[in-house]
Amino acid sequence: MTKKPTTLAASLAKKTSAAPEAASPALVGDIRTLTLRLPPIVHDQLREMAFISRRSQHALLLEALNLLFERHGRPPIAA
């Protein structure tokens, strides 16, 4: 029978080392990561819209990108 770790740190270290490394969601498939810098008031409004609509900020930004693409005569392809 295996002896259980006696401290929280030992327990976490054991779980961390035993778990397989998972790829970051930004690195899965052919997905690119984009950093967006927003003024606080814009960020707050986006968070509020996401909360009220019960959608993620990510989903709202993808919707905005599709609207931008359509406005410039491009197909709405953001998923």
What residues have CB less than 8 Å from 26, skipping those under 6 apart? 32, 33
- Structure confidence at residue 29 (pLDDT): 76
- Residue-wise pLDDT tens for the chain (79 aa)? 666 656 766 666 665 554 445 555 544 578 899 999 999 999 999 999 999 999 999 999 999 999 999 999 999 998 8
- Structure confidence at residue 79 (pLDDT): 80
Contact between 19 and 12 (Cβ < 8 Å):
no
User: Is 35 inside a domain boundary?
Assistant: yes
User: Is 59 inside a domain boundary?
Assistant: yes
Domain limits at 48? 24-79
Domain count, the chain: 1
User: Is 16 inside a domain boundary?
Assistant: no
User: Is 53 inside a domain boundary?
Assistant: yes
Question: What does pTM read for this prediction?
Answer: 0.61
- Structure confidence at residue 14 (pLDDT): 63
